Amino acid sequence: MEVGVELLIGTDIIEIERIKDLLDNGIKEKFSARVFTPEEVKYCESKGASRYQSYAARFAGKEAVSKAFGTGIGENALFNEIEILNDQNGKPLVILHGRAKKYYEGLGASGISISLSHCREYAVAYVTITK
């Protein structure tokens, strides 16, 4: 690593059942619109029975990005301004919009990396922002 490079780190873990409950309790559209982009919904819904794991991993990813920002979700980033998609090889990547993008640029950051994982009960995300 270069001398003078700073890493901003964020991590989050969530119970998949919590996301499943939010999606299945009749407020799916409202919750989805507030938290996920249309492309994220399309991806997660394409996963069939494992869609809840995909939604939960992306939720954890958004929280992890906001923690790497050092601000959490709110003033500098909303959930749907942090988009987590996959490249052609399936590797997750972060795309920032609106205030989240502006805040990221204001940090003088040069890169953002994310890792997502899940098991039956939990989803976890780990984010590094290079500054």
CATH code of residue 27: 3.90.470.20
Total domains in the chain come to 1
Catalytic site residue 131? Answer: no
Residue 36 lies in a domain: yes
Q: At what angle do helices 16-24 and 28-35 cross, to 10 degrees?
A: 120
- Read off the amino acid at residue 58: R
pLDDT in the model for residue 27: 67
The predicted structure's pLDDT at residue 4: 72
Catalytic residue among 67, 91, 97, 102: 67
Report how far residue 115's alpha carbon sits from residue 73's, in angstroms, rounded to the nearest whole number.
Answer: 19
Whether 67 sits among the annotated catalytic residues: the reply is yes
Q: Which of 20, 42, 102, 118 is catalytic?
A: 118
What is the reported pLDDT for 17?
96
Domain assignment of residue 29, given as a range: 7-130
Specify the pLDDT at position 30.
81
Q: 28: helix, coil or strand? A: helix
Within-domain flag for 34: yes
pTM: 0.92
- The length of the chain in residues reads 131
What is the mean pLDDT of each successive set of 10 residues along the chain, which is 131 residues long?
80 96 79 92 94 97 96 90 96 97 95 96 98 90
Beta bridge partners of 10: 127
**Sign of the Cα pseudo-torsion (5, 128, 90, 104, in order):** negative
Contact 129, 5 (CB under 8 A): no
Residue 77 has a pLDDT of: 93
Asked if residue 2 is part of any domain, the answer here is no
Q: Is 63 annotated as a binding residue?
A: yes
